Amino acid sequence: MNLPEENDYIDIHTHGAYPLSGVFSVVTLMAHEKKEPQDVAGLSYTYGIHPWYLTKDNHNEQIINVIRMSANPLIAAIGEAGFDKIKGPPPDLQRKVFEEQVYIAEEKEKPLIIHCVKAWDELTGVYKRMKPKMAWLIHGFHGKKDLALQLISKGFYLSLWSGFSIRPESTQLIQNLPVEKIFLETDGTGTDIKDIYTKVAGDLGMNTGELKKQLLNNFFVFFGINKDVNGV
């Protein structure tokens, strides 16, 4: 997998990104699209089955794609996989396919990127039962402080939803989160990751350089990379 450089802004979850000076983007590829990762500096990739695009008829084809792609060294993580009570197939199929992707992530020793909408009990139930060794990151989080701290206490990382993290109402939550367990993202919305860093750094009483260093360290820990931030 490609790695960020010391002064990069890290966009931990986005779609359709292209190389941009000073920004390291983790691009989500979805199994139904059949897109392939490209070995380009400044980009890394995840690959998985999004519940919105899962059906009983395409399940087998998609899981075969995930198994095949999971061996690609350019794929840094599996996902986004997960649960959605608003949009997607029946819950039993969502759970089955999510668990299949957990097994793949564990076998390939790659972290898991998660999409979860109103299905926290289902998600935490699978986590408790399967006891994964690989790290799990919930992307697009914009919930309450109590939920955030509960998820972090169970071992999850959180990536804050771009539309939430940039707004003033996110400040109280951000100030109550352990900074070593968070990431920032654009989710392909067009929001500038630099603006998100500026806002969140201010919330945390940091300058942007300090936040960059912290999230770079978070990146290496999350992906299991033994690297000294000071020596990158």
Handedness of CA 207, 212, 215, 221 (dihedral sign): negative
pLDDT, one tens digit per residue, over 35-72 is 999 999 999 999 999 999 999 999 999 999 999 999 99
Same domain, 89 and 180: no
Q: What is the pTM of this model?
A: 0.95
Q: Are residues 130 and 161 in the same domain?
A: no
Q: Which two tokens stand for residue 130?
A: 């399967």
Residue 134: CB atoms within 10 A of its CB come to: 18
Q: Are 43 and 115 members of one domain?
A: yes
Question: For residue 98, what are the contacts with CB-CB under 8 A and spacing of at least 6?
Answer: 51, 81, 82, 83, 126
Which of 89, 119, 134 is where one domain is finished? 134
- Does the pLDDT at position 230 exceed 90? no
Whether residues 164 and 104 fall in one domain: no
Judge whether 110 lies within some domain: yes
Confidence of residue 231 (pLDDT cuts 50, 70, 90): very low
Domain that holds residue 200: 157-222
Residue 74 belongs to domain with CATH number: 3.20.20.140
Per the structure, how many domains does the chain have?
Answer: 2
Verify that 107 and 164 share a domain, yes or no. no
Share of the chain above pLDDT 70, in %: 98
Report the relative pairing of strands 23-30 and 136-141 from DSSP bridges.
Answer: unpaired
Whole-number Å distance between alpha carbons of 178 and 17? 28
Residues 6+ apart with CB under 8 A from 92: none
Are residues 169 and 121 part of one domain? no
Same domain flag for 43 and 123 = yes
Residues 153-192 pLDDT 10s: 999 999 999 999 999 999 999 999 999 999 999 999 999 9
In a domain, 150, yes or no: no
Same domain, 39 and 111: yes
Kindly indicate the confidence band of residue 228, based on its pLDDT and cuts at 50, 70 and 90.
Answer: low
- Domain-ending residue, one of 94, 119, 134: 134
